[in-house]
């Protein structure tokens, strides 16, 4: 279950094994699933169903994040394998955000133009800059997932609230299924 810890954002994390087991069960539930009912939309997405403290600082660690990354990548792989022949042009991807992973999601793009423009963000309020170095999977100690290519971006978002500007920065790692 996807939940935000509004009242206790830094409280000690409890039930880690139970929560990771539930995430694995969610990932396994997507075997044989493809969101065909959304084919008339530009895309379909499913955010990682987990408590924010499981994957966000300061209450997480790389071991937990690696487990969660593997679960979402397995889910994306299952969706890619279940893709019907008449939707072979749909693009299946996983988007892992880092170092806080609560915004991570699986995406299926039914519109290739929408996918092509998804990572083009260059406005005053949002910027995505392609990373020429590194690998999130390597950083988390995960071997690459077969059939997916990894691309990293530095994401910067400016938010203005009551005249004050705050800047949020993270990494976005896209894992796109390669049609073979």
pLDDT digits (tens, 9 = 90+) for 107-125: 999 999 999 999 998 888 8
Mean pLDDT, residues 52-66 = 93
Question: Who has greater pLDDT, 66 or 146?
Answer: 66
Judge whether 13 and 54 are in contact, CB under 8 Å.
yes
CA 153 to chain centre: 13
Residues 6+ apart with CB under 8 A from 28: 74, 78
* Of 19-33, 54-68, 161-175, the least confident: 161-175
* Of 27-31, 57-61, 66-70, 161-165, the least confident: 161-165
Q: Residue 62: what are its φ and ψ, rounded to 5°?
A: -65, -30
- Name the strand (E) or helix (H) holding 25: helix 16-29
pLDDT greater than 70 at residue 98: yes
Average pLDDT, the chain: 90
Mean pLDDT, residues 47-75 = 94
User: Alpha-carbon distance 78 to 81, whole Å?
Assistant: 5
Question: Who has greater pLDDT, 10 or 19?
Answer: 19
- Count of all residues that appear for the chain in the document: 180
pLDDT of residue 118: 92
pLDDT greater than 70 at residue 143: yes
- pTM (predicted TM-score): 0.89
pLDDT of residue 179: 64
pLDDT of residue 169: 92
Cis status of the peptide bond prior to 99, with omega within 30 of 0: yes
User: Alpha-carbon distance 180 to 167, whole Å?
Assistant: 40
22: which 2 tokens? 């539930």
């Amino acid at each position: 279950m996807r939940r935000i810890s509004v009242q206790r954002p830094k409280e000690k994390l409890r039930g880690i094994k139970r929560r990771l087991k539930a995430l694995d069960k969610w990932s396994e539930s997507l075997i044989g699933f493809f969101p065909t009912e959304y084919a008339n939309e530009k895309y379909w997405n499913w955010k990682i169903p987990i408590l924010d403290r499981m994957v966000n600082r300061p209450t997480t660690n790389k071991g937990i994040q690696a487990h969660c990354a593997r679960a979402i990548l397995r889910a994306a792989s299952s969706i890619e394998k279940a893709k019907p022949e008449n939707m072979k042009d749909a693009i299946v991807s996983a988007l892992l955000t880092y170092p806080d992973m609560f915004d991570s999601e699986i995406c299926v793009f039914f519109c290739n133009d929408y996918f092509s423009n998804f990572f083009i963000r260059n406005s005053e309020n949002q910027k995505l800059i392609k990373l020429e170095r590194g690998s999130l999977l390597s950083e988390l100690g995960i071997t690459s997932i077969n059939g997916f290519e990894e691309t990293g971006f530095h994401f910067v978002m400016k938010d203005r609230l009551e005249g004050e500007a705050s800047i949020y920065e993270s990494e976005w790692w896209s894992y796109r299924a390669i049609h073979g």
